[in-house]
Amino acid sequence: MPVHNTDIAEKFSRLAELLEIQGANPFRIRAYRKAAQTIESLPHSVASMLAEGADLSELPGIGEDLAAKIQEIVQTGHLSLLDQVSSQLPGQLAELAKIPSLGPKRVKLLYDTLGIQDLKGLAKAAQAGTIRQLHGFGPKIEEKILAETNRRSGSEQRIKISTAEEFAEPILDYLRSAKGVKDPIIAGSYRRRKDTIGDLDILVTCTQAKPVMDRFVAYDEVETVVSKGHTRATVVLRSGLQVDLRVVPEDSYGAALQYFTGSKAHNIAVRSLAVKKGLKINEYGVFRGETRIAGRTEEEVYAQVGLPYIVPELRENWGEVEAGLRHALPDLITLNAIRGDLHVHSKASDGHFSIKDMALAAQEKGYEYLAICDHSQRVTIAHGLNAKRLAAQLEEIDRLNDTFKGFTLLKGAEVDILEDGSLDLSDDLLSRLDLTVCAIHYKFNLPRAKQTERIIRAMDHPAFSILAHPTGRMLNEREPYEIDMEQVMAAALERGCYLEINAQPVRLDLTDLHCKMAKDMGVKAAISTDAHRTTDLDFMRFGVGQARRGWLEPTEILNTRRLKELKKLFRRT
């Protein structure tokens, strides 16, 4: 069976968590975490790379030992060391360690003293009030744990869109190779480019349905066939992801695609327009009485109710139907409009490549500029740069720029916003930078008013350029910290600051709704990858998708500008 990059990364991450619970060597733990990050960010399948004879030990952070372990996972689907450690520490301890307020040491204490090894046991202990009695916990931590267990147990299982891509594209390729299959496409929230995906809905047209159904349920990653009919089948993959396949007639393809792309609220709004015109819209077409008058394409469906084509990213009933009726739909940002990336890291802090490597990778993408924004000194875990190291980096950037033609490295830094709202670099160093991306990396739990005040006070500094990953959320891992986003945006607009749309798939922060709020308030944004590897530059597509969901146009995105205009925008007067 195929092994995906996410499968390998998940095993290494899980191993790192379990080893930390055991109290293993920190350097060993860090090596597995870095390996997980490297594998998950690769643009190509590791299994395919091995099949082509690639030497995985040449990848950053992957030596011969880790390369051998990756090969073991690809060939067997297992990692013997993980199996061994898991047998010593059973249950879901690795998952529990990711819960805010816990971590490996506390998870070990909970396991050793209360026998807690899964989410259910953790919730039960929190409800009983026994966790607060342990040394190092207390009522407040117990309350946070209970809230988190309630949230996780009651929420639908959703995966990051980047993870969904790993499963979606191979399935489409598999179906395309079937005889007679036409127009295979994934609809639903995947097509709307939501940040997380619950399941996959695939539509195809074909000459004969049965061979396609048979081929679909025989896909080698299928663990369970939930149902199989003449034109519809549902399976669950080994990963737990549910996939639905529907075979639709060509005459109904557009109507079915519009229907199954959703969202439900958008479809209701469109059907309401149809009713006013004496029409009926469903997955089979547009009908006047019993006569189908349209449905072959989505454009036909929208035209029948007086609407232009509405792109999938806008279909959330956030005003797109009304805008369509007024002929006022936005001209959305596209990937081709991006001229550079305004937030990447080098190996000077927690990146994995040199500044030159990152610059060359950006030039290969046709970029005109790239901002090197390594961490400032407070982020010690990421090897943040002190004054001396940052000054040396700025000199290195000057030397490299002397060698480039038609491309410029921008001098930046990811500057910590300290608890009191001050910035983690001296005014002298800040004045030497082309831009700053300023971020909160600690004290996530400040009250809403104080966290908001902290950010706005930081924006008061004339060197503040962009607020990085503004809510601090990590999808499926960490909830956003509490801030008044409307107040933050108003402050940014008043002071000439900007907000980041962080394209890392685990972040996608700003959210789509906050992107729409920024548009409505007139606040410009930068779509940046926060790249730590050359391959991370490809994450730009996820940030663009997020911006499109938020109705953003090229003029509202900083890094669609030419360099001269961009530099003007960063000069606060």
Tell me the CATH architecture of domain 159-247. Answer: 2-Layer Sandwich (3.30)
Residue 119 above 90 pLDDT?
no
Instruction: Assess whether pLDDT exceeds 70 at residue 173.
Output: yes
Q: How confident is the model at residue 331 (pLDDT cuts 50, 70, 90)?
A: very high
Lowest mean pLDDT among 96-105, 241-250, 266-275: 96-105
> Which of 176-190, 300-314, 321-335, 459-473 has the weakest average pLDDT?
176-190
Q: For 24-162, list the strands marked E by DSSP.
A: 159-160
> Sorting pLDDT into bands at 50, 70 and 90, what band is 495?
very high
Per-residue pLDDT of 338-389, as tens digits, reads 999 999 999 999 999 999 999 999 999 999 999 999 999 998 877 899 999 9
d(CA 199, CA 63): 36
Q: What pLDDT digit, counting tens, does each position of 176-187 carry?
A: 988 889 999 999
More confident residue, 368 or 123: 368
Task: Give the range among 118-132, 313-327, 364-378, 446-460 with minimum mean pLDDT.
Answer: 118-132
Is the per-residue pLDDT at 299 higher than 80? Answer: yes
CA–CA separation, 463 and 438 (whole Å): 10
Q: What confidence tier does 146 reach under pLDDT thresholds 50, 70, 90?
A: confident
Asked if residue 246 lies in contact with residue 230, where contact means CB atoms within 8 angstroms, the answer is no
Q: What is the DSSP letter of 482?
A: P
Average pLDDT of the chain to the nearest whole number: 93
Report whether 308 contacts 316 (CB < 8 A).
no
pLDDT bin (cut points 50, 70, 90) of residue 1 is low
* Residue 497's pLDDT band (cuts 50, 70, 90): very high
Q: What is the pLDDT of residue 156?
A: 59
The superfamily (CATH) of domain 335-569 is: Metal-dependent hydrolases (3.20.20.140)
pLDDT at 153: 67
- Cβ atoms of 504 and 530 closer than 8 Å: yes
pLDDT for residue 436: 98
| Alpha-carbon distances of 139 from 101, 210, 389, 497, 549, rounded to whole Å | 12, 59, 43, 40, 40
| In contact, 79 and 73? CB cutoff 8 Å | yes
Q: What is the pLDDT of residue 142?
A: 86
Q: Work out the average pLDDT over 212-231.
A: 94
- Distance separating alpha carbons of residues 435 and 412, to the nearest angstrom: 5
Average pLDDT, stretch 160-171? 94
Residue 102 has pLDDT above 90, yes or no: no
Confidence of residue 462 (pLDDT cuts 50, 70, 90): very high
Least confident segment among 126-135, 332-341, 342-351: 126-135
* Residues of the chain above pLDDT 70, percent: 99
pLDDT of residue 28: 92
Instruction: pLDDT band for 154, please (50, 70, 90 cuts).
Output: low
Q: Could you give the CA distance from residue 117 to residue 123 in angstroms, rounded to a whole number? A: 11
Please report which confidence band the pLDDT of residue 123 belongs to, taking 50, 70 and 90 as the band edges: confident
For residue range 523-533, what is the model confidence (pLDDT) as tens digits?
999 999 999 99
Among 16-20, 304-308, 498-502, 541-545, which is the least confidently predicted range? Answer: 16-20
**Helix (H) or strand (E) run with residue 48 in it:** helix 46-51
Residue limits of CATH 3.30.210.10 in the chain: 252-325
| pLDDT at res. 513 | 97
CATH number of this structure's domain 5-144: 1.10.150.110
For the chain, residues classed under CATH 1.10.150.110 are: 5-144
Which of the listed CATH numbers 3.50.50.60, 3.40.50.300, 3.90.1530.10, 3.30.210.10 matches domain 252-325?
3.30.210.10
> What does each C-alpha distance from 560 to 74, 304, 340, 517, 540 come to in angstroms?
40, 35, 8, 20, 13
- 246-270 pLDDT, tens digit each: 999 999 999 999 999 999 999 999 9
Q: Give pLDDT, residue 573.
A: 64
Q: Range with the lowest mean pLDDT among 32-36, 307-311, 459-463?
A: 32-36
- What residues does CATH 3.30.460.10 cover in the chain? 159-247
Give pTM, 2 decimals: 0.86
Please list, residue by residue across 89-125, b when 16 or more beta carbons sit within 10 angstroms of its beta carbon and e when fewer do: bebbbbebbbbbebebebbbbbbeebebbebebbbeb
pLDDT at 360: 98
Q: How confident is the model over 303-318, as a mean pLDDT?
A: 98
Domain with CATH 3.20.20.140 in the chain: 335-569
